[in-house]
Amino acid sequence: MFLIFFRHSISTLPPFKNPPAAARLRIHVDGCKYTTSQATLESAPLKNLRRRRRAEIPRIHTLDRNRLTPRDFVDLSNLTTSPIAMDSLKASIAYGHTSHLDYERHKMIRSRFPPDARGFLYYHQDPRLPLTAGEIRFRVTAGPDPALFDAGKDLLDPHGTFWSIHLLKLINSKIHRAFKEILGKDELLDPKFLRTIEKSWVGIRFCQSMRMLYYLEQPFEAILKPKTPLVNLRVVTPHAFDELRIHNFLVDYRSDIGASPYTVTHPGRLLLRFERSTLPEHAGSDVVVIRVLKILEPLKVVIPMYDMAVPMPCEGELLQIRYRNKNRPYSMDLNNPTSSMKALQFFALERL
């Protein structure tokens, strides 16, 4: 270790309480340059550590949890992104983004993987859902022994849901296509199924906030805001990845109730489910209704002195809407749906 001092004329150097940047003591240690700034002394080794880790590209050999070996153990801790090498291929993964309010603007800031993000990448297929729901997850384990897999936990993203790379991304994203090749080699995806979704899902962009509907009776969450009488979902089948918009949730269109025409009468959060109607008036037709499974967030009445013409949803009951001054169950004929609900027809086609 050696020291380098910068010379300055005493007559021209003003009496600074702290020396200017040009006059600071610089130290060279093992080829690395530091200043006497405490922040720099503390951060420089961390930066060098990240540089070394970026140079050491993690390599995996399988995404099949039953074939994992210690060589597939990956350390992603404190990284924002990381390349992943697979045979002669390379992919890239990121932890995710968080929203930050800065000068009244929302900025999306890239987040770092948690400090304990060490474990195995693997392909996850929920047995309750169809093949279209497949995704890559990251299992955090206490060490590189695959026997620790079952005792580990799947990594969560910055929003508290499972960190994952959806099958759609594996199909359409260039930085993730290498994973698709590994899945084919591992025989985790049927070649015929893969060819079908490659043709049907081409060009579709995936967003992590999308709410997927993989089968008709799958429960889904509806977040109802006072000025947003709309629920957006994505119908996902091997032959479709289409938007589904459910309009006019809990809206009273009367002009004399002291609210705008599109005000939701009871905003809140509901857990809902489509189901085929068994009502007498729908006998012999292919009509679906919506059942209220659970009230996730208490519903509020936002219209002063409201007469409850649009009834409050009740758990276990069918969702009611107001139509031509009468209340009736929300329903949709799959053979003649509105344009916003047309995606539901794909579930009818899959059943044939």
Same domain for 276 and 300: yes
- Inside any domain, residue 116: yes
Same domain for 270 and 313: yes
Query: Which pLDDT score is estimated for 18?
Result: 47
* Average pLDDT in the chain: 77
Same domain for 234 and 195: no
Q: What is the pLDDT of residues 279-331, one digit of tens each?
A: 999 998 889 999 999 988 887 777 777 777 777 888 999 988 877 778 889 88
The total of structural domains in the chain comes to 3
Same domain for 111 and 26: no
Name the domain boundary from 200, 235, 269: 200
pLDDT of 1 over the 60 cut: no
- Domain span including residue 224: 212-351
DSSP string computed for 101-130: EETTEEEEEEPPPPTT-EEEEEEE--TTS-
Same domain for 143 and 220: no
Q: Widest CA span of the chain, in angstroms?
A: 101
DSSP string computed for 231-250: EEEEEEETTEEEEEEEE-TT
- Inside any domain, residue 207: no
Full-model pTM: 0.67
Same domain for 105 and 36: no
- Inside any domain, residue 329: yes
- Inside any domain, residue 316: yes
Among the residue ranges 30-44, 190-204, 259-273, the one predicted with the least confidence is: 30-44
- Inside any domain, residue 257: yes
- Inside any domain, residue 206: no
User: Two tokens at 330?
Assistant: 């929300």
Same domain for 340 and 229: yes
Same domain for 139 and 27: no
Residue whose C-alpha is closest to residue 320's, from 280, 292, 283, 349: 292
Question: From the CB of residue 132, how many other CB atoms can be counted at a distance below 10 Å?
Answer: 22
Q: What is the pLDDT of residues 209-228, one digit of tens each?
A: 678 899 999 998 888 776 66
Name the domain boundary from 166, 200, 234: 200
- Inside any domain, residue 138: yes
Same domain for 174 and 92: yes
Residue whose C-alpha is closest to residue 204's, from 226, 173, 174, 165: 173
Same domain for 297 and 216: yes
Among the residue ranges 61-70, 107-116, 266-275, the one predicted with the least confidence is: 107-116
Q: Please state, in angstroms and rounded to a whole number, the distance separating the CA atoms of residues 293 and 220.
A: 9
Name the domain boundary from 180, 200, 220: 200
Same domain for 169 and 120: yes
pLDDT of 33 over the 60 cut: no
Same domain for 288 and 254: yes
- Inside any domain, residue 40: yes
